[in-house]
Amino acid sequence: MLILAVIPLSPLFGDFLQWSVLGNILVFPADNGASADPFPILPSGGASVSLKIYGPLRAELTEDIYIANYEYNSEVNRPMGSSQDNRSALVIGFFTAIQITGCFSLDDKGTALRVFAGPAADLRAIVLAAGLNHPNDFNGDIKTNAQLQTDAIRDYFWNKSRWFMPVAGIGMDFPINENFLLGFDLRVWFPVYKLNINENIPAIDGWRFAAGLRITPRGKQ
């Protein structure tokens, strides 16, 4: 993907096809109490591809990849982001979205405002965290057994449509030079699955926020 970032393929297609390389800071807010580890704030990398539909409207596919440590709290029966010391599972998340983007030109130099929204999914690969080899890590019940916690984390995230989180956001692009645009994005993912489950979950849990940058090769002017 980094190789593609320096190859200006977009001029071959004009503005019909655009793609970008993305870098973000993801925030997964949670209200887990004073005894829990801080909620995850994570870097992510990704890419997007968009096709022009009509006028300022584009259909855009985005992919953002992140890595986080989790533990399972058996007292409240849900996963929590954790520090390296308290981890049981490694979660590799693939935030995948298909969105409609309105791209509105602000001048003749390439500056543009973008607004977007669409369905998205947090597709998580959940595996036992590496480096767990102490006998106590695999003994006892779910309170102490990392394998049992990993299985519970996987079941939790993949059940009751907890992976489905529509996204909306806003961004701007600015010309760096005649070949590239530098942009920024602000995004929010909505935990709509909470509407269909009967659990005592803090209101902020499940939301996702991101602030990031993107680099986009420019089409023919």
Convert the pLDDT of each residue in 4-36 to its tens digit. 444 444 455 557 899 999 999 999 999 988 778
Task: Please say if the pLDDT value at position 109 is more than 90.
Answer: no
Residue 132 burial (10 A CB sphere; 0-12, 13-18, 19+): middle
Task: Please say if the pLDDT value at position 76 is more than 60.
Answer: yes
Q: In this predicted structure, what is the pLDDT of residue 14? A: 59
Alpha-carbon distances of 47 from 8, 44, 94, 136, 169, rounded to whole Å: 15, 10, 11, 41, 16
Q: In this predicted structure, what is the pLDDT of residue 180? A: 94
Q: What's 2's DSSP letter?
A: H
Contacts of residue 177, Cβ cutoff 8 Å, sequence gap at least 6: none
Contacts of residue 29, Cβ cutoff 8 Å, sequence gap at least 6: 39, 204, 205, 207, 209
pLDDT digits (tens, 9 = 90+) for 120-151: 999 999 999 988 876 677 888 898 899 999 99
Q: In this predicted structure, what is the pLDDT of residue 10? A: 47
Q: In this predicted structure, what is the pLDDT of residue 5? A: 41
Contact 11, 57 (CB under 8 A): no
Q: In this predicted structure, what is the pLDDT of residue 90? A: 97
Q: In this predicted structure, what is the pLDDT of residue 219? A: 65
- Smallest CA-to-CA distance from 26 within 215, 164, 208 is with 208
Average pLDDT over residues 101-109: 93
Q: In this predicted structure, what is the pLDDT of residue 13? A: 53
Domains detected in the chain = 19-217 (2.40.160.20)
Task: Please say if the pLDDT value at position 114 is more than 70.
Answer: yes
pLDDT digits (tens, 9 = 90+) for 139-184: 888 988 999 999 999 999 999 999 999 999 999 999 999 899 999 9
Summary mean pLDDT of the chain = 90
Contact 92, 48 (CB under 8 A): no
Residue type, 208: R
Contact 204, 164 (CB under 8 A): no
Q: What's 146's DSSP letter?
A: H
pLDDT digits (tens, 9 = 90+) for 211-221: 999 999 986 55
Q: Which helix (H) or strand (E) holds 217?
A: strand 208-217
Average pLDDT over residues 196-210: 91
